[in-house]
Structure 1
């Protein structure tokens, strides 16, 4: 059975696709799965690291406001549509799955045009632009939240599936994970990150709150900065951290491939409210402080966070309210609970 999975732009659009591919490979003996994504995008590395074939295309996202750059994006999308259509004609898949993001649009459009069965998966509580548009033509829309029919009123078929996560997420154990990060099992661990690409607002708040945290003798922090922010964070933290005097144990990482180990080590997590992140922390039962990205389409991160907060599964700090003081107080409050 041949399946194409398309998506990317952020890790949150591709990791659920990897999870689907893993299950298909387990359940279907002759499964042949190829991912379609942006050349040199984050999805190319993630897919290849997971051991799957990758078909690269070149496509650009659209600006939300009027911009001449959108003319170039339209041209690029039309070219990508032709590229994917040629690939589908050659590969002859039984189905094409779109995981959201601007990358999935030309793939789903090409599959629809080629009369190949299609499915899109929406990870968030509020759909992105691409999925909202594609929902009108695909055979099935799969949703992560139970409000799918409200979000996709013109879809032929809506199925509430939840957001798939990788099996290896479930397997990590706390003590070996603490050892992996050279941390102490007697201390509480706070995991801080801002999504796969990092978040400057969160990083700056960590830097500016360090003086408040440094005397916390029962605390250790794993801080994932994002690759683009790592050097700057290290430069600033070097001015603040005194490993001989400070009671807090702090460590920064640009990116952690085995995020399951970081989750297993954590007693509390402070992070953005992307769909994959909240699915993972919910599945693993990690208490969380969510800081929704304020510029997400349709405020979907805020809606993701609201769902957990309303069910008593997380606390939330709005991005504009994230200060060194609120970060410190909320973290200590939840860790001490």
Structure 2
């Protein structure tokens, strides 16, 4: 079996693709993969590190206003169709899968017009522009949220699968997490993360939370700041008289390579609302305080978060409304109410789709078979 996978720009498009690739490879042997991205996107660094064959096309996203640069972008888009055709003719795939981002537009469009089976995987509640266009050409659309179905015209193409998550998220245990991270199993654990690059608004609001909980006997904080924010947050805490090496319940990390172990021990998460992060939280049934990234395309993070809130799995605070006092009040109310926290955990678990990667992989395999 030979598959081209395309998606890029952000980790939210790339990491689901990697999970899906590994899942298909575990089910079908032999299975040859070619990943198509751009030279400028994160995929240019991440995909080669995964040991996957990687080809690029020359394309970029359109500006959201009229400009001369959009004319140049249009010319690149036309050229990228010819580049895609050459890559597809050379590789001869049985199937082409797109996970979002403008790069997969010309790849999947070209494959579809060449009569090759195609599928897109949409992670967010509101589909991106590229996937909305591709929906008219591809054979199948795997969606991460049931609510997404209303945004696509041809309902027969849609399969609600959930979003693929890393298998290590499901296999990590609480005992392993506490041992590896050096935290106390007897305390409730709050995990704070604004994503791999961090979130300044969340980090600043957390200073008030740290001040309140320092040396608390029953609650511990695991705060992942992002590399660029780490020194500033630690310095702010020092100015407040908080030495994180001696508090006994505050752990500040610039980055976590073992996030699955951190998720395994979390009783409450303070997160952004990217689709991949929410898929991992719900697969494990973790209650959350969600602060959506305010500049996400079409405000999709807030819409993702509102689904969680409506189902009783999360509390949402808009970034513009976030203050230290507001965050502390919310965290105190949740962590101090065992019954409410348990109800949120149950609601979160009900939203989870831990089998999503396998379901999408089987759909892809079925789609690639000759009819």
Work out whether the TM-score is over 0.5.
yes
Match of 1:62 in 2: 62
Once the two structures are superposed, what CA deviation does each residue of 1:220-267 show, in whole Å capped at 9, x if it has no partner?
2222223443444444444343247646423122x3233211101222
Structure 1: how far apart are the matches of 2:51 and 2:312? 38
Match of 1:80 in 2: 80
Q: Is the 8 A contact 2:84 2:107 kept in 1?
A: yes
Q: Is the 8 A contact 2:105 2:130 kept in 1?
A: yes
Which range moves more in the overlay, 267-276 or 53-62? 53-62
Which range moves more in the overlay, 258-267 or 208-217? 208-217
Q: Is the 8 A contact 1:125 1:304 kept in 2?
A: yes
Query: Is it true that 1:184 corresponds to 2:168 in the alignment?
Result: no
Match of 2:362 in 1: none
Check 1:87–1:244 CA distance in 2 against 1; reply closer, same or farther (3 A cut): closer
Structure 2: how far apart are the matches of 1:38 and 1:239? 44
Q: Give the deviation of 1:209 after TM superposition.
A: 4.3
Mapping for residues 43-58 of structure 1, pairs under 5 Å:
43-58=43-58
Q: Is the 8 A contact 2:111 2:118 kept in 1?
A: yes
Which range moves more in the overlay, 94-103 or 40-49? 40-49
Match of 2:320 in 1: 320
Match of 1:194 in 2: 194
Match of 1:143 in 2: 143
Query: Is it true that 1:124 corresponds to 2:124 in the alignment?
Result: yes
Match of 1:250 in 2: 251
Q: Give the deviation of 1:283 after TM superposition.
A: 0.3
Q: Give the deviation of 1:215 after TM superposition.
A: 4.6
Structure 1: how far apart are the matches of 2:72 and 2:224? 34
Structure 2: how far apart are the matches of 1:67 and 1:199? 30
Greater helix percent: which structure?
2
Once the two structures are superposed, what CA deviation does each residue of 1:277-320 show, in whole Å capped at 9, x if it has no partner?
11110001111111122232332222211211121222211222
Q: Give the deviation of 1:326 after TM superposition.
A: 1.5
Structure 1: how far apart are the matches of 2:200 and 2:269? 17
Aligned residues: 336
Match of 1:97 in 2: 97
Match of 1:37 in 2: 37
SS at match of 2:162: coil
Structure 1: how far apart are the matches of 2:335 and 2:111? 49
Once the two structures are superposed, what CA deviation does each residue of 1:168-188 show, in whole Å capped at 9, x if it has no partner?
210001122122122222222
Structure 2: how far apart are the matches of 1:65 and 1:161? 34
Once the two structures are superposed, what CA deviation does each residue of 1:148-187 show, in whole Å capped at 9, x if it has no partner?
4311115761121211212221000112212212222222
Structure 1: how far apart are the matches of 2:286 and 2:80? 40
Match of 2:356 in 1: none
Structure 2: how far apart are the matches of 1:90 and 1:186? 58
Check 1:329–1:300 CA distance in 2 against 1; reply closer, same or farther (3 A cut): same
Which range moves more in the overlay, 281-290 or 68-77? 68-77
Query: Is it true that 1:276 corresponds to 2:310 in the alignment?
Result: no
Q: Is the 8 A contact 1:141 1:155 kept in 2?
A: no
